[in-house]
Structure 1
Amino acid sequence: MPLTLPAFRILSPQQRSLRQKLLFSLTAFSVLLFLLLGYSAYRIALEETQEILDQQMKEMAYFLAETSIDHLDSAFRPNHRYDETDVFIDIWTYPSAHASQRKQVLREDPDRIRLPRMAQPQFQQVHSSRGELKVFVLPLPDRQIQISQQLKVRRHLAQELALSMLIPYVLLVPFLVLGLGLLIRRLFKPVDALQRTIASRNHGDLTQIDTRHLPLEIKPAIDEFNQLFQRIEQAQQQQQQFIADAAHELRSPITALNLQLKVLQKTLPAELTQDRNFASLTQGLQRIQHLVLQMMTLAHQETQSASPQPLTDLVVQVHFVIEQLMLSARKKQIELGLDSRITQLQVAADPVQLQSILFNMIDNAIKYTPVGGEIAICLTQDAHRVYLSIEDSGPGVAATDYPKLTERFVRLPQTHQDIVGSGLGLAIVKNAVQHLGGSLEFSQSVRLGGLMVKVSLPY
């Protein structure tokens, strides 16, 4: 069996959160600071080492000047590792007058390194087969003393000193990163609380967000959101008021037209009342009247407050709505049945709101179920929620069109035009279900082949 490695998702800099960017930036800054401190410590240690070792070389040369040693050649071992305590000491007497007339240059061989005669004590830096050397030359009347030391041992000593100074920093870096992470998490607690507050809000909740405990950097943005919420709430109130006023103003004249049409239907001859145009007029008035009622229901739902709901028996409401719609089902010879072993179930909901949900769901199923079809209503529950599903034997709806079912004033192209509807029924159901803290789902009925609408409510 081949070994499969888990896939790791690498976030781009644009996808990382602000706290991740802040932690990464501070960590990178700490690493950069470590490098700068390391270089600075090395330079300081090297300067201090140069001063100390130069002083030791001078003291050693002046000490040898007090002795009677007039000749000493240093020995070099190529494979030996020299340290800061090792120096090369060379002492020689000046050559004769005949030899001094020759050009004085650096004399170097595998055994000895001698610089020309100097006028005064001084340091020089020499490149030789022994490496790069720091040389102190002390000229005396009869001889010259030369103390040499490899520069690499000084650099090595400076590196060790710098490293010893940085070891505490290296040991503390993990704790520094951990502390930064904890500090950032603590500082971002108000932002996390804001995120949880917004995530837990209902879709229609436009109340002001409390900004008293927010950082000053994000407080202006939240203040702008609060002003936006206020403008949206005002626009919604104006829209709701317009819908309610329009529906109320239209209700009376449409009812009067409907009554006049019924009176006209009784007074006119039968051949006129059975005409197709007269039937279209009757159906159009029914559709307008249904639309006005739906608009009034929707406006009433949107103006309801989030106050605590009374306890209502859902089973009683289901039976009540079925009785109200049984006549419509019988006209189309539809078998309408309820499958439930629940005899009583209290839910936190207004009775009128429950009836609106049930009426629109069952009425919608009756409208789109063909003559002689079947509608099955099922009521179940678990420990925390109750589930109401309505299945029909109608033509069903494609899964790609499910989101359109709850859009306002939207009717699918396959909808029969002779069916009285406004495109608001399931939108009203969705709005009412969300107001009660429930959910609305659509799927295909496995048993009947049509559409299944399922509502879940807490209790």
Structure 2
Amino acid sequence: MIIAVLVAVLLPLGLYSYRRTLTETHELLDGRLAQSARTLDVLIQHAGIDAVRRPEQGSLVVPVIGREDEERLMHGRTYEVEVGYQVFDMHGRMRLATANLAQLPLPNTPISGFENYHFNDYGWRVFTLVDDAGGVVIRMGERDDSRRDITHALWLDLAMPLLLGLPLLALLVGWAVRRGLRPLQRLTQALASRAPGSRQPIQLERAPQELQPVVGALNAQLERLEDALERERRFSADVAHELRTPLASTMIHLDGALSTHVAPDTKTALVSAQWGLARLARRIEQLLALARLEAGAAAGQRGEVDLVVVAMNVIDELAPLLGDSGVEFAFVEHNATLKIQGYEAALAALLRNLIENAMHHVPAGGQVQLSLGRNANTTVIEVIDNGPGIPAERRASVFARFHREASSSGDGYGLGLSIVQRAAQLHDATIELLDAPSGRGLRVRVAIPVAETTTTHS
């Protein structure tokens, strides 16, 4: 853009300067012709040239040597062949002339001024001076190609600096802009390499004065953001503590009441209350899990996580649910250990919600399979069930919060896949909802990119 602006300004200025210089040059050359004609008139009148004052002696033709001869005899150009003159008496008889203009006829009624002629294959600029008092008509001429040589020289003098200077200017401006933007590149690198959750302010050595307010504003904004995230994390922890404690206490009291002898109607009411509290506890757990992910609870430094160990812990945690569901569950790991760089809490939430989501959509006697493996540079998590599946046109909407499919048989609230999606985003992973290999059911495939430093032991 800078180069385009310079070209847009300099080219019109150069063209204007060229046209002005050309006009001034032509005026100067015309002035030289007129001055030469008047000088010759003065010489004729005061020095007395016999060829003009005595017509009976005939005309006098001044020889003019050609370009080749002048370069040979004079060891350089004198440009004699490109200029000439004529002197006529008042009767129109030529009395004095240079050889190159001797055949140029005089107009019937000569008038003082400038004229253009085409003579002997050349264009001529001719100035005519009519001196009635001296009894002579003087014509001074110059060839157009001589003027064009001057014009070309002017064009080269004006255009060459511009044509050569613009590329050089482009290089220098590009270098200056790149050098000027280096602090921004350093700022970008500092932001990109900044550890998540870090409160260390950004420091730029030799930061230009123009960039210092930006760095200060960024540090202040990052500090406010970390404060907000910290408040969110504390809020989530406080809510978890405040809600879990009374719920656990109420569940204990209900268990105690159910263990006593109570009327059948009362026992039915207590069982319903216990079931309702269990649902409420599950919903609170999901909401808190989603809040922790959204607030960046897992935004600390990534660490090495063994995905197989995380999966085994999740399966142990869900063992009561798997045992009571009447669903056949299978765990297939293709590696004894499968280590990746990630957040253990987020990966556990991802696996837990994938398994629970599958269990809620598979009727008793169905099958759910968890598979872990690695393909090329990705770690692949697959949960496959033989339930009713999800039509392709509705798969994009299932990640919305509180969305539930009509085929769900559990007590979920439509938050499971939202938690899965957020956990996947924390690991730059992709999620695909595909048809199960058997043709019936759903296959959820999560592909997590593997860092170069990650190693796998078979």
Q: Same fold (TM over 0.5)?
A: yes
1:212-223 alignment, distance < 5 Å? 220=213, 223=216
Note if contact 1:335-1:372 (Cα within 8 Å) is conserved in structure 2. Answer: yes
Task: Decide which of 64, 68, 88 is 1:91's aligned counterpart.
Answer: 88
Separation in structure 1 between the aligned mates of residue 209 and residue 81 of structure 2, nearest angstrom? 58
- 2:226 counterpart of 1:237: no
Which residue is 1:414 aligned to?
A: 405
**Secondary structure of the residue that 1:113 maps to in structure 2?**
coil
Instruction: Show CA shifts across 1:42-74 (max 9, x none).
Output: 244334434444444444444555432327699
AA in 2 matched with 1:444: L
Paired AA for residue 432 in structure 2: F
| Secondary structure at 1:263 match in 2 | helix
Q: Specify the alignment match of 2:352 in structure 1.
A: 359
Distance 1:259 1:53, change over 3 A: farther
Q: Distance in 2 between the 1:288 and 1:73 partners?
A: 128
In structure 1, runs of 5+ residues without a counterpart are 1-20, 75-81, 96-109, 118-122
Structure 2 match to 1:22? 2
Structure 1 stretch displaced more, 215-224 or 240-249: 215-224
Does 2:451 align with 1:450? no
SS at match of 1:376: strand
Structure 1 segment 265-304 matched on structure 2, within 5 A: 265-267=258-260, 268-274=262-268, 281-297=273-289, 302-304=296-298
What are the within-5 Å matches in structure 2 for residues 264-413 of structure 1? 264-267=257-260, 268-274=262-268, 281-297=273-289, 302-304=296-298, 306-307=300-301, 309=303, 311-349=304-342, 351-382=344-375, 384-397=377-390, 405=398, 410-413=401-404
Is the deviation greater in 193-202 or in 341-350? 193-202
Q: Partners of 2:32 and 2:395 in 1: how far apart?
A: 86
- For 1:241-283, what per-residue CA distance to the aligned partner results, in whole angstroms no more than 9, with x for missing partners? 22321221111111112222223334433454446xx665333
* Change in CA separation of 1:209 and 1:39 when aligned onto 2, cut-off 3 Å: farther
Structure 2 gaps of 5+ residues are 62-78, 93-103
Give the number of aligned pairs: 407
CA deviations over 1:198-228 (Å, ceiling 9, x no partner): 5677898887555666655565456545444
Aligned partner of 2:253 among 260, 264, 268: 260
CA distance in 1, matches of 2:244, 2:396: 30
In the aligned structure 2, how far is the partner of 1:202 from the partner of 1:393?
42
TM-score relative to the length of structure 2: 0.71
Cα distance between partner residues in 1 of 2:407 and 2:200 = 42
After superposition, what is the alpha-carbon deviation per residue over 1:152-199, rounded to whole angstroms, capped at 9, x for unaligned? 667645532321213423244344434444443443344445456656
Output the TM-score relative to the length of structure 1.
0.71
Tell me how far apart the structure 1 counterparts of residues 416 and 198 of structure 2 sit (CA, whole Å).
Answer: 23
* C-alpha deviation, 1:377, in angstroms: 1.9
Q: Does 2:434 match 1:441?
A: no
What's the counterpart of residue 35 of structure 1? Answer: 15
Q: Which moved more, 1:139-148 or 1:202-211?
A: 202-211
Paired residue type of 1:69? A
- Residue identity opposite 2:6 in structure 1: L
The amino acid of 2:405's aligned partner reads Q
Deviation (angstroms), 1:90: 3.5
Between the two proteins, what is the percent identity of the paired residues?
A: 21
- TM-aligned CA distance change 1:306 to 1:248, over 3 Å: same
1:68 corresponds to which of 50, 58, 63: 50
Q: 1:84 to 1:188 in 2, by over 3 A?
A: farther
Q: Is the 8 A contact 2:370 2:381 kept in 1?
A: yes
* CA-CA distance at 1:34 after TM superposition: 3.1
- Counterparts of 1:427 and 1:184 in 2: how far apart (Å)? 45
CA distance in 2, matches of 1:312, 1:297: 19
Match of 2:152 in 1: 160
Kindly indicate whether the alpha-carbon contact (under 8 Å) linking 1:406 and 1:426 is maintained by their aligned counterparts in 2: yes
Write out per-residue CA displacement over residues 74-124 of structure 1, whole angstroms, 9 at most, x where no aligned residue. Answer: 9xxxxxxx99924452421479xxxxxxxxxxxxxx93237679xxxxx73
Deviation at 1:392, TM superposition (A): 2.2
Alpha-carbon contact 1:27-1:177 (below 8 Å) kept: no
Q: Which amino acid aligns with 1:36?
A: Y
- Are the structure 2 counterparts of residues 359 and 423 from structure 1 closer, same or farther at C-alpha, using a change threshold of 3 Å? same
Could you tell me whether the CA contact under 8 Å between 2:117 and 2:125 is conserved in 1? yes
**Hey, what's the Cα distance between the residues in 1 that align with 2:211 and 2:392?**
42
Once the two structures are superposed, residues 303-354 of structure 1 have per-residue CA deviations (whole angstroms, 9 ceiling, x without a partner) of 4563352x44322332332343344234222222233331123334565554
Aligned partner of residue 89 in structure 1, secondary structure: strand
Distance 2:199 2:9 in 1: 42
Structure 1 residues 42 and 332: CA distance shift in structure 2, 3 A: same
2:107 corresponds, among 92, 103, 113, to: 113
1:79 aligns to what? Answer: none
